[in-house]
Amino acid sequence: MSKKLTVPAHGHAKQIEISMEKIKNAENRLFEAQFVNAGTYSELEFTYNEAYRDCRKILADIQLQQTKVLKNIEERKADIILDVIPNMLEGQPKSNNNSDFRNAVIARDEEYQGYLEHMNKLKALESHFSGILDTMVNTCRYMKKQMDLIIKAGYVPPVKNTGDKL
């Protein structure tokens, strides 16, 4: 199973290669947070923090690509308004040149629709990685509270015996 996600290039937006290895590792270990103890806390926190850092980097890349796609959208819209619509209106009455007509021409433009579709994909990715980010933050917060409770109670549960003999 591949642990990479690829967002294809589109217009000014470049291709993004997203490594999901640390994020998948952290997601696979989320259940361990409910059994956190002094022996596992630092390792789990490190794992979740690595995933957090990767998510922040990915979100920054996605937001940069969204900015570039917005630029593409505005450029295409300007091209349609300045080039395509005047050619369509040659020999037509001036009454056809209204905002509804412009919006209809823009809505039917395939290149413009492609940019909008790409923007929607980026927004979906942003939402997905924001959810992962929130999960990592909340999990670390939960583990910290559990460790505080353990320390206040003066009880440190024994580390699970793995059967290894020294």
pLDDT at 87: 84
pLDDT above 70 for 1:
no
Which of 39-43, 85-89, 126-130 comes out lowest in average pLDDT? 85-89
Of 62, 63, 75, 73, give the one whose Cα is nearest residue 18.
62
At 93-129, the pLDDT tens digits run 766 667 888 888 899 999 999 999 999 999 999 999 9
- Mean pLDDT estimate for the chain: 87
> Residue 68: how many CB atoms within 10 A of its CB?
17
Q: Where are the domains of the chain?
A: 4-153
How far apart (Å, rounded) are the C-alpha atoms in residues 50 and 69? 29
